[in-house]
A and B are shown apart, each in its own frame.
Chain A
Amino acid sequence: MRNLEQNLSEPTKLDHEENFWRKYIFSTDHKVIAKQFLITGIFWAILGGLLSLLIRIPHGFPGADLSWLKPILGGWILEGKIDAEFYLSVVTIHGTIMVFFVLTAGLSGTFANFLIPLQIGARDMASPFINMLSYWMFFISSVIMFASLFVESGPSMAGWTAYPPLSATEKAVSGSGLGMTLWIVSLAFFIVSVLLGGINYIATIINMRTLGMTFFRLPLTVWSLFFTAILGLFSFPVLLSAMFLLFFDREFGTSFFLGEIYIGGSVLNNSGSGSAILYQHLFWFLGHPEVYIVIMPALGIASEVISTNARKPIFGYLMMIVSLATICFLSLIVWAHHMFVSGMNPFLGSLFSLTSFVVAVPSAIKVFNYLATLWKGNIRFTPAMLFSLGLVSFFISGGLTGLVLANNAIDIHLHDTYFVVAHFHLVMGSSAVFGFFAGVYHWYPKLFGKVLSEKLGYIHFWITFVGIYLIFFPMHFIGWNGIPRRYYSFTHIETIEYFPDLNTLISTFAIITFGAQLIFLFNFFYNMFWGAKPIQNPWGSNTLEWTTRAGMPVEENWEGEVPAVHRWPYDYSKPGSDSDFIPQHIPLSETENSNLDKEGIYISLKNLRKNNKK
């Protein structure tokens, strides 16, 4: 464990050469670990994206001949069609990969590791070793999940929620054999990884802040990652317990989740008096906070990027923190809105509907604050800014349909239909992915010491932005009509309309949007090697990471002393200052013309006006 003194003293490791393995593979440097998370995340995102195309093809092009996929999928292609059971695997693995491996590890893992030490002015994490362990636990989890794709009986087929009894016995579906076992083991390792990461992030933020970096001078990215880590610590252990109990039910003949069950021609050996609903409670106790674990870092990144590129302080800094804290607390008590029609007591339905509506308030506050930040700004449309604006747009669209689904009465009809698919893909899927892109475009100069092409970034953004709207907006209509999720084919749906034309449109744009990601991948990997070198602070940003040398920071981040902090991170376009930004490490004594009566977060409107009049 490092302490603050060590942190503030001169870097210790500068001249110290390390071999390849210590430097790039089993590195304890938070920046290398962040890149490991990033690259692994991108790998999973490509796979998850490809799987989403497999999900869409049978709906968009029902007659399509897929025999050409035989070399990859082998026996899972039957007579030119995807096998109905394998289709469920595709849905399951797409969900699992995207939620856990891409948007939790890839997004939060990358930016928490990268930004926390750099933005609070620390030389590394509180425990670099535990940090390394966190990545390697994730790596083991990834390997196991990847291995499960090649199991003969198929990967898990029970949906990313893995409700027992479907997930509890091989008799229910073939993917609930070895595939499911590997899925559970993989998730267990994943949870360990998240917990190791989480305690480290929290310890670092609390203990390692540089001189002058009070809590209320932390950038909103750090705040959001802080609350994300706390939320993870509360909720992930519950999922771990659910995974253990499910494992016991499967392997050791217990019946925690198994009621009286007759399946595959006989009564299940360990059918007993367990409760399938109990699993749902345990799962969603993580499952709902999980969507906030996914979206909060993205919102934090958006706060930082929007403020920087609007050349304006983030509006309502304190309120942004309060709303994050409120989300963090409330998201722990809304889980059963996924279970309105699961057969639980209707009174609970009322209660959880109420909390679900209330949790929408802090989200609304955040949106209004973003809009107010743009008001009278001087907006630069860098790719990162475009993706952040896209995030806000998606967050509005998807958030509003959340108000429909939080309504327990309406949810009776819309639950488990395409309406839900549209809702969560917009509000947490696409928003979080856009947060991820915004982060990569914004911090690429620090991550890889090179610059991404802005122009390719624009093309990438516009195709993706338009594509995502055309994919998910029509799904609302399909869901409104009552077409259920996770259907392999709509051939059995007769007297309600499932809009084959809209489905073709959706699938077409899914393919186009996936294609646009290749532009990003080219941009990302090409510029990693042959990109131009950035200047020290290319976006004119205030936070501490831009005080490190131009390009990639050295191993312990700052060559000399870690700079001390004298102000909050959002002094953009301050009246009286020549420059339109004043970085955090500039002392107030150097900016006497622009200082306010009362510096700090307690700047009130009255003070501002008084100052302007002077």
Chain B
Amino acid sequence: MSIILAVLLILLICMMVVLIYRLGVFGKAITGWKNDNIDSVRNVNSWLFPLFFVLGIGLLIYFYRTIKPDLIGEAVTEHGKWIDSSMSLSFNLILVIFFVAQAVLVLFVVVFQYNSKRKASFYPINNRLEIVWTVIPLVVFLGLFVDGNYTWSKVMKKNDEDLVVVEIIGMQFNWIARYPGVDNQLGDVNVKYIDGANTAGLNLTDPKGLDDFVSGEIHIPVNKNILFKIRSLDVIHSVFIPHFRLKMDAVPGMPTTFTFKPEKTTNEMKAETGNSWFNYSIYCAELCGRGHFAMKGDVVVDTEIEYEKWLKSQGSWLARHKGYVKYVPDKYKDQAESIIQHTPPETTAEDATFFYKDANVKK
């Protein structure tokens, strides 16, 4: 890369030297006005356009070839693949238009450079041409819209069957997830219940929430439809998982959703990339304050067996924070006790430490 940089700099300097040489003495260049061959001097510029165009294309190809292995690979979700195919359609098309349009511009600039003996053609209007280049772009753009919107409606379609529901909660500056527990129903939450331990704001008067559990690491099973219910506690964040082609804002006071189906487990990706510490990450894509750049969450895609195992190892939030049982209304106390009894003992402290992984971000 540094070589290419050096070559570029040298070329740029050469271009400037040629220009300055053609322009005559630099001193005169400051205020100089008309001289006899001003138009031939001006025409030097016209030759620099194709030079830059050719060099630029060369550079682009070089860049692309160099960085291609590092470009983000194929999406690992079902909808991500749809998006990828729309993307490749759009990109191929605009690349062609880009090269043709820029080439025409450069060509005209060279061919029609100033010549005092020639007179430009007086050609102010051609309605047929105008219609052609109104209708053709319109049709092409509408085609792109139809393709994109077809993908969009497939991606955004609500799919109610057999969903694994995970609530993703964004806060300054980390992500946590809440799982519905055995009853498969998320309980009520409210910001007024939030405190140091109850980070998700569980409302313990709601029986559906008694078995909910909260995790810093987000686990999801492969090949299942996952529903992310996304909310934020403080400012707007945005759940962005590049490998999934998934992005959805987390808006305080307005829960959002995203349904998707991962098709590759984290371990499969580790093997594929040959990278033993590979993981899927949520990056925050909406400016949210000081720690925006460090607001990262880890997503682990498990096989179904691994996922079930992980689920079982997670105890309900209430069981892990027994002091909060006093907030459970009397009529649900029995239910709460039974949930606590059926909760397996805490396994490792690993998950819990996730919260503080980014603690070096000063607040």
Contacts and interface: CB of A to CB of B under 8 A. Distances in A.
A and B: bona fide binding partners: yes
Interface of A: 84-85, 88, 157-159, 163, 165-166, 172-173, 258-264, 267, 271, 273-277, 310-319, 341-343, 346, 349-350, 353-354, 357-358, 360-361, 364-365, 367-369, 371-372, 374-382, 386, 389, 392-393, 396-397, 400-401, 403-404, 406-410, 412-413, 415-417, 451, 453-456, 458-459, 461-463, 465-466, 469-470, 473-474, 477, 480-482, 484-497, 499, 501-502, 504-505, 508, 512, 523, 526-527, 530-532, 534, 570, 572-575, 580, 603-605, 608
B54 interface: no
Given A343-B251, A458-B19, A379 B31 contact: no
Contact of B144 (A158, A357, A365, A530): A357
B156 interface: yes
Contacts of B125: 315-318, 603-605
B12 A466 contact: yes
B94 A403 contact: yes
B311 interface: no
A25 to B, nearest CB: 29
Contacts of B60: 473
Interface in B13-34: 15-16, 19-20, 23-24, 29-33
Interface stretch (B189-197, B318-326, B327-335): B189-197
Nearest to B196: A265
Given A343-B249, A371-B104, A407 B284 contact: no
B70 A492 contact: no
Interface stretch (B44-52, B176-184, B215-223, B337-345): B44-52
A416 B280 contact: no
Contact of B90 (A403, A531, A575): A403
A410 B127 contact: no
Contact of B283 (A319, A374, A474, A484): A484
Given A371-B104, A380-B114, A365 B133 contact: yes
B19 A482 contact: no
B301 to A, nearest CB: 13
B252 A163 contact: no
A400 B98 contact: yes
Contacts, number: 407
B296 to A, nearest CB: 5
Contacts of A166: 235-236, 287-289
B149 A350 contact: yes
B310 interface: no
Interface stretch (B134-142, B159-167, B347-355): B134-142
Contact of B285 (A360, A377, A417): A417
Contacts of A371: 101, 104-105, 108
B105 A392 contact: yes
6 contacts: A166-B235, A262-B201, A396-B101, A409-B148, A455-B23, A532-B32
Given A379-B112, A413-B242, A346 B152 contact: yes
A408 B124 CA distance: 38
Nearest to B16: A459
Nearest to B48: A462
A403 B5 CA distance: 31
A514 to B, nearest CB: 15
Contacts of A492: 293-294, 296, 358
* Most B CB within 10 A of own CB, among A376, A499, A508: A376
B172 to A, nearest CB: 7
B142 A605 contact: no
A573 B287 contact: no
Contact of A407 (B86, B102, B248): B86
Contacts of B49: 389
A163 B238 CA distance: 13
B257 to A, nearest CB: 8
B240 interface: yes
Given A412-B247, A415-B285, A604 B98 contact: no
Contacts of B279: 494-495
B31 A374 contact: no
A401 B94 contact: yes
B294 A412 contact: no
Contact of A605 (B52, B91, B126, B230): B126
A590 B142 CA distance: 49
A139 to B, nearest CB: 29
B115 interface: yes
B236 A163 contact: yes
Given A409-B155, A485-B287, A527-B30, 15 more contacts: A165-B235, A262-B233, A271-B191, A310-B120, A313-B122, A360-B137, A371-B104, A374-B109, A378-B114, A380-B39, A415-B247, A416-B286, A462-B48, A495-B278, A505-B1
